[in-house]
Amino acid sequence: MYKSRDYIRTLPFRQRRPFAQIFPNANPSLYITIEKALAHPYLEAHHDIDDEPVAPPLDPEFFEFDLHKDGISREQLKELLYEEIMFFCPVPIT
């Protein structure tokens, strides 16, 4: 059940690196939008404009409660979310 998580924990720790350091020749102003990515010919077989709603991005403050609620750290929140996902048992629709 936890094989993936156990495997990832056995990997050596790697310090996070900025995207610009990994791809120094990439132009940050040329990032493609989701809408443009979905319209790209590579994804043509999966593109369905009627099933791809567009919404404005959420304000980062929307997520602030998750980071400070009850003194839970970001890492603790990630662990709690992971546990919730792993133990989720959907109720069959009858």
Q: How many domains, the chain?
A: 1
Q: CA separation (Å) from 79 to 28, 54, 57, 75, 89? A: 31, 30, 25, 6, 18
Is 58 a domain residue? Answer: yes
Domain, as residue range, for 73: 21-86
Is 71 a domain residue? Answer: yes
Is 94 a domain residue? Answer: no
Is 9 a domain residue? Answer: no
Is 65 a domain residue? Answer: yes
Is 76 a domain residue? Answer: yes
Residue range 22-36, pLDDT digits in tens: 888 887 777 788 888
Residue range 36-86, pLDDT digits in tens: 888 889 988 888 888 888 888 888 777 776 555 567 777 888 888 898 888
Record the pTM.
0.33
Residues 6+ apart with CB under 8 A from 19: 26, 28
Is 25 a domain residue? Answer: yes
| Distance from chain centroid for Cα 77 | 14
Is 8 a domain residue? Answer: no
